[in-house]
Amino acid sequence: MSHKALVHIVGRHKAQAELAGVLRDEVARLRADKRDGVTQVNLLTAFDDDPLGKRSNISATIEVRGSESARVSAPLEGFGARLGRLVHADLSTALVGEDRAFVECARAPVRYQYLMRRNAEYDHAAYTTRYRDVHSQFGVRTPGILGYVQFYVDPSASRQLSVASGFGVCGVDSVSELHLPSIEEFIAAVVQDDAGAAAQADERHFVDRSLSVYFTSSVDWDPDAP
């Protein structure tokens, strides 16, 4: 298990090109100014014509990895104000928690993220237990992937980061991550397998699929990270 913060950024219409440049500069600054306990700062840029992300408005993701929640949160204080008019701060998210790799992999070029919300029959703790102990089997069986990671959101730490960063409070309970060689290879493998249908059937027991979103991004990995 390791700690990380995820900021999912929703850009304003007609600001995408400028936002992309500002984010590259901000990530370069965060990488240069790494504090003790921060090991990695990665930039994920959502694909424009993503066949898996038609319900998502997320433009980019900033991922800060490190040794504990407070350390990965600190670099993102005031981040929303620095992006200013380029983003919908209330629609963007700030999440803090721990992740667990069920299928380890090297630095994959593409990442699928599934921001999941629980249904009314589960509280956050029960949801996390069900997600980790039962639902993980479907991620492990998914074809066409290089790696599979579950990110467990810490609601309290995420609320604190939302205030500190200037982004909206978000009711996401977990994020499933599939690390991929490419979108095309992933889709080609999935359509020939029943793992996706089985996973969706299991989710009906504990996930509010109607308000959960998924999308894929290219990954700019921190070149100085271990």
Handedness of CA 203, 205, 210, 211 (dihedral sign): negative
Q: Note down pLDDT in tens along the chain; length 226 residues.
A: 799 999 999 999 999 999 999 999 999 999 999 988 999 999 999 999 899 888 899 999 999 999 999 999 999 999 999 999 999 999 999 999 999 999 999 899 999 999 999 999 999 999 999 999 999 999 999 999 999 999 999 999 999 999 999 998 889 999 999 999 999 999 999 988 887 889 999 999 999 999 999 999 999 999 988 7
User: Where do runs of H (alpha helix) occur along 39-154?
Assistant: 69-73, 79-83, 124-130, 136-141
Cα dihedral value 73, 76, 77, 83, nearest 10: -160
| Helix intervals (H) in 9-146 | 16-32, 69-73, 79-83, 124-130, 136-141
Answer yes or no: are the C-beta atoms of 7 and 164 closer than 8 Å. Answer: no
User: For the chain, which domains are there?
Assistant: 2-220 (3.30.70.100)
Length of the chain equals: 226
Two tokens, residue 66? 């490190």
33 exposure class (CB count in 10 Å sphere: 0-12, 13-18, 19+): exposed
Tell me the CB-side half-sphere exposure of residue 212, using CA atoms within 13 A: 20
d(CA 177, CA 101): 9
Residue 192's pLDDT is 86
Rounded to 5 degrees, what are φ and ψ at 93? -125, 155
Please choose, from the candidates 169, 164, 5, the residue with its C-alpha nearest in 3D space to the C-alpha of residue 78.
164
Amino acid found at 148: Y
Q: What is the pTM of this model?
A: 0.95
The pLDDT value recorded for residue 195 is 79
What's the rounded Cα separation, in Å, for the pair 185 and 192?
Answer: 11
For residue 89, give the DSSP letter: T
